[in-house]
Amino acid sequence: MMHGHPRTGAATKRKLAILGATGSVGRNTLDVAARHPDAYAIHSLTANTSADELIELCLVHQPVVAVLSGSVDEGAARRRLKEEGCLTELLCGSAALSSAVEGADVVMAAIVGAAGLAPTLSAARAGKQVLLANKEALVMAGPLFMGEARKAGAVLLPIDSEHNAVFQCLPAGRSARADLSEVRRILLTASGGPFRTMRLEALEKVTPDEACAHPNWVMGRKISVDSATMMNKGLEVIEARWLFDVEPSRIEVVIHPESIIHSLVEYIDGSVIAQLGNPDMRVPIAHALAYPRRMASGASFLDLAKVAQLNFAAPDLARFPCLGLAYAALAAGGTAPAILNAANEVAVEAFLRKRIGFTEIGPVIEHVMGRIAAGEATTLEEILEADHVARACAMDRVEHCEERAA
């Protein structure tokens, strides 16, 4: 059987599991896979609580297994599938996520947030080909995750557009853990989000809907807010540090509002190699699905004359302190990035619920990082414990902010 080959005919269809199928990355993955029905069979789809959305996807894609990992009306969901004559086996509860992974060849890890860590790690431990969208797994557990993936012989392919771009710009044919001795820097591009040019005073009053209206990408609400605060880029610096095994001092962020250059690799001879394309997640998804070959993604082709201009600037850490906090967490090491991530998830959720203002997100995270000392991050238990403690501290801080505002 030819693994990694997208055009191997019906007998060797690769079985695809999509964790977080109802989300933005999950749906884009289904779109790409559906363009190549001879190459991919949908083995499993998972969602948290969006039962109706998951059932709709089951009716269209007919997976073997579907999982609702959150608390839902199990009986109603099963009845609906049966009424529609759908043969998909529905499983419920977060322990069932491992059943979604088991029979698959390729696992798209597209659950958002810390909830994605355990299932993504189990896919890596099972030695699967893991398409990694859930950046929080590497942020929280980078060294553990990479070590387990290596031990199990899992193939990790980055889906985050920047990391997928870096992967493509690294020496051809080498793995994500390429020899980087000839690489001088990795340059991650950042759009700067919807508030790139907004004054600090105006930032205090922005609403969740304004924060989620990204100029170039349509994404889930959590990552959209992360893009607006630039924490997304901070998480991506941490993700790149572990994925490519490169010191933080060699990872730089450059603002590029058009999101046409998805990232760059600079070599010791002064050459800089970039990956370009229209901002469409189906491009990195198709790249990773077909790797090491190429296949159509459905994305429109780049018209450079129409783009006409590409702009660049240095990031402004005064207006966007979250990027600096992420570098600080990386420098502190151990569980510090897991603490940063947990505090960020709580602060973003509080902002989305209008409990705190946009400019309070960074200070809440900074407060938590100051209160909780980083410890060892060698086991999943240690990391989840740090996540737990940081969440509690962040929730207290959110309440404090609310009381102060009242």
308 contacts: CB under 8 Å, gap ≥ 6: none
DSSP assignment, residue 229?
Answer: H
CB atoms within 10 A of CB 97: 24
Written as six digits, the tokens of 397 are 């801080």
Pairing of strands 89-92, 183-190: unpaired
When binding is defined by CB under 6 A, the residue of 29, 44, 69, 191 that contacts ligand NAD is 69
219 is a site residue for ligand NAD (CB under 6 A): yes
24 is a site residue for ligand NAD (CB under 6 A): yes
Minimum CB distance to ligand NAD smaller for 217 or for 267: 217
Closest approach of ligand NAD to the CB of residue 346, in Å: 14
138 is a site residue for ligand NAD (CB under 6 A): no
C-alpha distances in angstroms, 118 versus 145, 383, 402? 10, 11, 32
Q: Which helix (H) or strand (E) holds 265?
A: strand 261-267
- With CB under 5 to 8 Å by kind, the binding choice for 266 among Mg ion, ligand NAD, none is none
When binding is defined by CB under 6 A, the residue of 160, 239, 349, 360 that contacts ligand NAD is 160
When binding is defined by CB under 6 A, the residue of 55, 65, 90, 111 that contacts ligand NAD is 111
* Closest of 254, 234, 209 to residue 366, by C-alpha: 234
278 is a site residue for ligand NAD (CB under 6 A): no
C-alpha distances in angstroms, 46 versus 305, 328, 397? 41, 34, 33
Closest approach of ligand NAD to the CB of residue 11, in Å: 31
Closest approach of ligand NAD to the CB of residue 49, in Å: 7
Written as six digits, the tokens of 335 are 């569980």
DSSP assignment, residue 42?
Answer: E
298 is a site residue for ligand NAD (CB under 6 A): no
- With CB under 5 to 8 Å by kind, the binding choice for 20 among Mg ion, ligand NAD, none is ligand NAD
66 is a site residue for ligand NAD (CB under 6 A): no
Residue type, 191: S
When binding is defined by CB under 6 A, the residue of 6, 13, 17, 26 that contacts ligand NAD is 26
Contact 253, 196 (CB under 8 A): no
223 is a site residue for ligand NAD (CB under 6 A): yes
Instruction: Please report, as ranges, the residues that interact with ligand NAD according to CB under 6 A.
Output: 20-26, 47-48, 50, 69, 110-112, 115, 133-136, 160, 217, 219-220, 222-223, 281
